[in-house]
Amino acid sequence: MRHGLFVYGTLQLPEKLQSLLGRVPSLEPATLHDYRCGLVARADFPGIVPQQDSVVNGQVLAPLDQSELEILDQYEGELYQRLRVTVMTARGPVNVWVYAIAPWARGRVTEQVWTVEDYRARKQPRWTYRY
């Protein structure tokens, strides 16, 4: 069986997907309604929690097989739960999986915005060699 996964954090990074799955599945822009994305407290990654009238921008990662989903379950860990949601894409609504913060940890999702661009900038080396 093939699956789609809505990603909004580090799983949008091709290098992260390559290291986890050994390949980079296709990525399609999408939005998830009635959820909010924020930086997880004491971490450098985002989480999403339900919030009426909010929108999360991300991408649909597909196709994934069951063994790849299990690898991603391990990567996300117990802080997240995998849920079925409907996201909007250019071709219309699509039913996919998403990793949302588990109910017991929802208080850790801050109001601070997290973007993949900011994350990349923070992870870049702060020095360069000159030859």
Would you tell me how many other CB atoms lie within 10 Å of the CB of residue 32? 23
Q: Known catalytic residue: 117? A: no
Which residue out of 76, 78, 111, 117 is catalytically annotated? 76
Q: Mark out the alpha helices in 23-115 (DSSP H runs).
A: 66-76
Q: What count of other Cβ atoms lies within 10 Å of the Cβ of residue 120?
A: 12
Residues 6+ apart with CB under 8 A from 59: 6, 7, 8, 12, 27, 28, 29, 30
Angle between helices 14-21 and 66-76 (to 10 degrees): 110
- Just list the catalytic residues: 76
